[in-house]
Amino acid sequence: MLYTFWNTKMIWYLASKFCKKYHSNLPYLKDMESVKAIGKAFHQTRIRHYKHSNYWIGLQSSSRGKGQHWEWEDGTPLSFSYWSRKYHPNVLNYHYCAYMESGSKWMSKKCVERSSVVCVAENHGWSKWTPWSACDCRTNTAQRSRTCRSIPNLPRCNTCNGHTTSEVKGCECSSRKMKFQKFPWKNAPRKSLPSPTGISSLQGCASICFENQMCTSFVKEKNECHLFADVMGAGQPNKYSFTYGYRLIDYNGN
């Protein structure tokens, strides 16, 4: 959480819009953990004026007069409360909103009165790392990435420790761990296919080269890897033979 304290007093409605301008909200204090967190932020603030102010929270009355009910700005009914002992239900026919004193206890007053503003941003700083990618058999590496999520119009608060947005680690290409069963070559059915157009046509299958530099690949068809051999010369389109002479029987690949 990022708590931003503003030495500005405004009515509750404008305070709510003000926070949304910075992709934030008035505080939603729905459990004791969130109360303690914002209380800690208060005590870490060194500006004396802040510690003697009261701040709006995102809680408003959903009914007026006797039998008053409360709900959070997102529409969630109030189920946890931290009212001050000085608080008493309002019976007048006004729209009331809650504010928090420096000791984290809650009070209420008319929403058209003024209080200071604290905005809370949940999604800021570094995102979680993405899962590690599959091992790239060409480089024997895997990678992952993350992004620094910023808050508009608050450049001083957009601090992500470190500058690393991606990481690379070594890995063992599991697609090399293959076992193939050999069938009699004369019984292996053949058909012509277009030449591979890129790595996407070799999903999950290995490429191999023999001593005579003739290269072959294993391509997928119906969830099986089959030998894809260059029989007419490299780089010649539509000059490849697709044979079932070797069939995958065990594969620990991606």
The residues with which 9 forms a beta bridge, in sequence order, are: 116
Chain center to CA of 146: 9
* Domains with residue ranges and CATH for the chain: 2-121 (3.10.100.10), 127-151+158-170 (no CATH), 174-251 (no CATH)
pLDDT at 173 over 80: no
pLDDT of residue 91: 63
Q: Which two tokens stand for residue 217?
A: 């690949």
* Segment holding 106, helix H or strand E: strand 106-110
148-185 per-residue burial string, b: 16 or more CB within 10 A, e: under 16: eeebeebeeeeebeeeeeeeeeebebbbeebebeeeee
Using left for φ > 0, alpha for ψ between -120 and 50, and beta otherwise, residue 153 falls in left
pLDDT of residue 56: 94
* Alpha carbon distance 99, 45 (integer Å): 18
pLDDT at 199 over 80: no
Q: Looking at 13-22, 36-45, 135-144, which range is the least confident one?
A: 36-45
Average pLDDT over residues 97-114: 87
